[in-house]
Structure 1
């Protein structure tokens, strides 16, 4: 067995720059011969770039060892990516963090767009959680917001534009995949800012939560088959909701709305539920995330964690890391949007 005190010194030494002699001495007093050889090979391979985190979250988990995230990433390998931006008018800043986690492949995607349309500042944020493959989530990243910004009533009747665009993009995806044997799908949790109005549109079980005057308020409700209204809608269309480890449409899909999923399309629609909010001084920040976060972090906990960081990128990273250390078995993607009510026209972040 490992001695926790010596192990912690070894862990800190790898990422903290202690002297090599002290580090090897710590290892030598902590491990048996076989484990010592394994850790030594690992340190030689990763060198000073290997950092460790100790999860102090609970007595049961205390002393658990997890490899920490890299400082940055572009997500090209499907593993990890993070970054941050500010809107041109300085009213919003955002950060994102996306991590493959314990899954063998990455099926989450995200999209952030900021522009001016008809003289109106618009900002769009989206988290897309694929299932059965990544193609549906990738299609949404490529097309959903582009389609929305081209809608003729985007700035004049935003709710209608969002509803029509979601359903049209779903049909476009099904057409694009009509000659394949794949039948993957995706959620979409989106936040659309048009001037001083916020529109949150949701399909599936990704989620958006706002911190308003210190209180966590969900702006979307997960589309689960056992929701009474969703179950009634599915059964009225001739479908069934069955228990198979969890409640599933046709005993297959654990959410009641999604893009794609051709074989269940009669029951699993891509019609979004939309909430509209007028932004005021009480709005502090917004968290959008895939269920890789929400499975292990409650709404209030996510907001509290995000509020401890000044920069939204750091907040998004903290949420992703927390979900991973708490045992999330899924891909984890977070976007944090912070409101700046008194700042005006700062430089856009690189």
Structure 2
């Protein structure tokens, strides 16, 4: 006989599920109504266009934000998703390409946002590579940059804002998944350009590099368990690094930092490593990609291939195709950002050749000219 307590429990749980479903539906409707101007969607779509301005809530300040239009993405017959964007003055452009590759499911996500905040141009680019499922990567696409722009110190202390936003977004994702049996995770490699100041933050083994005078410079260091500092941190926290085809945390996870991964959260943190630098005329382009690219394409090759393409969208597509043809067995996603300041330079006209002065013939004594 089923006890009355159990029946009441089932009824209560059913009621909770109904309330939760209603809440999700209401939130979905609100999100559709507000739109946020960011093209938020569970699908990878940057085709939303808006010319309106919006107010971003924060605890202390209100930021006037004007969202820049993004070009709609394209999906070709080969399954490649690609798209691009260029700012009005032509000084910055970007392109992205994403491909499921040989995997049966797609766990890579990406995000590109551009806005005017307090009169300052802000551009954000992100690669999110999921593992154990796609939900964590999808959550980051939907929330990470939105949360960052809400941070009250985003414009005054961007580095602090990025660090705190990464940690808070990780905690929010884990809270949203607490009643599920899922325990997936995700990398995050992001680049935030505020004016001409670039901040690159990384968690996991996705990677960002920059080209300076044709040289590839890594702006992130892959978070692998066998990295000496990461091994020390994990073992100090009581964790173990084991070999299981590759070095893994607890013999399970092949990276030492990630969003999500509740069961390993004590050791696998979402604290980003951040590098920042001023962009000047020597910097040519930026490449962000999931490890599906970096497993088979060295940094130098990525820069060389990207520089051979005039448009960043074509460069991103070229990189994903190259990774696939070289045998990448993973999802492959890439963003290429081209800095157009070199276009401002005007070529100096070549100096006109000086007229050739022919030597006068020698005059012999006694001869007249």
Q: Once the 2 structures are TM-superposed, how far is the Cα of residue 323 of structure 1 from its aligned partner?
A: 0.2
Question: Which residue does 1:314 correspond to in 2?
Answer: 314
What runs of 5+ residues in structure 2 fail to find an aligned partner?
1-71, 345-369
Distance in 2, Cα, partners of 1:212 & 1:122: 21
Question: Which residue does 1:60 correspond to in 2?
Answer: none
Distance in 1, Cα, partners of 2:272 & 2:222: 11
- Once the two structures are overlaid, the 10-residue window that deviates more, 190-199 or 72-81, is 72-81
Question: Which residue does 1:25 correspond to in 2?
Answer: none
Q: Secondary structure at the match of 2:284?
A: strand
Question: Which residue does 1:145 correspond to in 2?
Answer: 145
Q: Residues 91-130 of structure 1: matches in 2 within 5 Å?
A: 91-130=91-130
Question: Which residue does 1:163 correspond to in 2?
Answer: 163
Question: Which residue does 2:244 correspond to in 1?
Answer: 244
2:212–2:282 CA contact under 8 A, matched in 1: yes
1:78–1:105 CA contact under 8 A, matched in 2: no
**In angstroms, what is the RMSD of aligned CA positions?**
1.7
Distance in 2, Cα, partners of 1:161 & 1:89: 28
Question: Which residue does 2:296 correspond to in 1?
Answer: 296
Q: Once the 2 structures are TM-superposed, how far is the Cα of residue 79 of structure 1 from its aligned partner?
A: 4.3
1:215–1:300 CA contact under 8 A, matched in 2: yes
1:163–1:272 CA contact under 8 A, matched in 2: yes
Q: Once the 2 structures are TM-superposed, how far is the Cα of residue 119 of structure 1 from its aligned partner?
A: 1.0
Asked if residue 216 in structure 1 is aligned to residue 216 in structure 2, the reply is yes
Distance in 1, Cα, partners of 2:314 & 2:80: 14
Question: Which residue does 1:266 correspond to in 2?
Answer: 266
Q: Secondary structure at the match of 2:341?
A: coil
Distance in 1, Cα, partners of 2:150 & 2:74: 28
- Once the two structures are overlaid, the 10-residue window that deviates more, 218-227 or 73-82, is 73-82
Distance in 1, Cα, partners of 2:232 & 2:298: 27
Question: Which residue does 1:66 correspond to in 2?
Answer: none
1:78–1:100 CA contact under 8 A, matched in 2: no
Question: Which residue does 1:174 correspond to in 2?
Answer: 174
2:83–2:313 CA contact under 8 A, matched in 1: yes
Q: Once the 2 structures are TM-superposed, how far is the Cα of residue 91 of structure 1 from its aligned partner?
A: 2.0
Q: Once the 2 structures are TM-superposed, how far is the Cα of residue 110 of structure 1 from its aligned partner?
A: 0.1
Paired residues, what number?
Answer: 273
Question: Which residue does 2:330 correspond to in 1?
Answer: 330
Question: Which residue does 1:340 correspond to in 2?
Answer: 340
Q: Secondary structure at the match of 1:127?
A: strand
Distance in 1, Cα, partners of 2:198 & 2:213: 16
Distance in 2, Cα, partners of 1:108 & 1:280: 31
1:292–1:332 CA contact under 8 A, matched in 2: yes
Q: Secondary structure at the match of 2:317?
A: helix
2:147–2:165 CA contact under 8 A, matched in 1: yes
User: Structure 1, residues 118-168: CA drift from partner, whole Å, max 9, x if none?
Assistant: 111000000000000000000000000000011111111000000000000
Q: Once the 2 structures are TM-superposed, how far is the Cα of residue 343 of structure 1 from its aligned partner?
A: 5.1
Asked which structure has the greater CA Rg, the reply is 2
Distance in 2, Cα, partners of 1:228 & 1:326: 30
Distance in 1, Cα, partners of 2:229 & 2:79: 37
1:78–1:106 CA contact under 8 A, matched in 2: no
Distance in 2, Cα, partners of 1:128 & 1:241: 24
Q: Once the 2 structures are TM-superposed, how far is the Cα of residue 225 of structure 1 from its aligned partner?
A: 0.2
Distance in 2, Cα, partners of 1:78 & 1:234: 42
Q: Once the 2 structures are TM-superposed, how far is the Cα of residue 196 of structure 1 from its aligned partner?
A: 1.0
Question: Which residue does 2:200 correspond to in 1?
Answer: 200
Distance in 2, Cα, partners of 1:269 & 1:106: 24
Q: Once the 2 structures are TM-superposed, how far is the Cα of residue 88 of structure 1 from its aligned partner?
A: 3.6
User: Structure 1, residues 35-58: CA drift from partner, whole Å, max 9, x if none?
Assistant: xxxxxxxxxxxxxxxxxxxxxxxx
Q: Once the 2 structures are TM-superposed, how far is the Cα of residue 87 of structure 1 from its aligned partner?
A: 2.2
